[in-house]
Amino acid sequence: MADKTAFEIPEQMRALADKSVDQAKKAFDDFMGATVKAVEKSETSAKTLQSGARDVNRQALAFLEANVAASFDFAQKLVRARSVEELSQIQQDFLKKQVEAAQSQGKDMADTIGKAASEVQQQTKK
């Protein structure tokens, strides 16, 4: 049997190693905490962005539906017109209403997009 050679680690080295492990664990814990916060923040921002996109899409569909309905109404009025003057008046009325609708819809859409962007921006500040 071979003699066992006694090998002792000096107490100071043990203390230094122990302290190094504790510091590494703390650094890792801090890193993981920051990572979890970043992931939560991005998930919240993504949900807010999805909600805003959903609002914009719904509004766009509502505008599309209104514009198509106005176009069908316009077409029905055209086929019922009895004179060139009446056709001209129907067309002028339609164009005027559509320009007004486009302006209103553009403003509403800009407001909705601005609101969604603002909400996302607020979420990223938290």
pLDDT digits (tens, 9 = 90+) for 27-60: 998 989 888 887 777 777 778 778 888 888 999 9
The pLDDT of residue 1 is above 70:
no
Q: Rounded to an integer, what distance in angstroms lies between the CA atom of residue 63 and that of residue 57?
A: 10
Buried b (16+ CB within 10 A) or exposed e, 57-90: eebeeebeeeeeeeeeebeebeeeeeeeeeeeeb
Q: Which pTM does this prediction carry?
A: 0.62
What pLDDT sits at residue 3?
59
Residue with tokens 């609002």: 55
In the block, tokens 């905490």 appear at 33
Q: Where are the domains positioned within the chain? A: 44-125
What average pLDDT does the segment 103-126 reach? 85
Q: Give the model confidence (pLDDT) of 63-100 as tens digits.
A: 999 999 999 999 999 899 899 999 999 999 999 999 99
Distance CA(53)–CA(76), nearest Å, equals 34
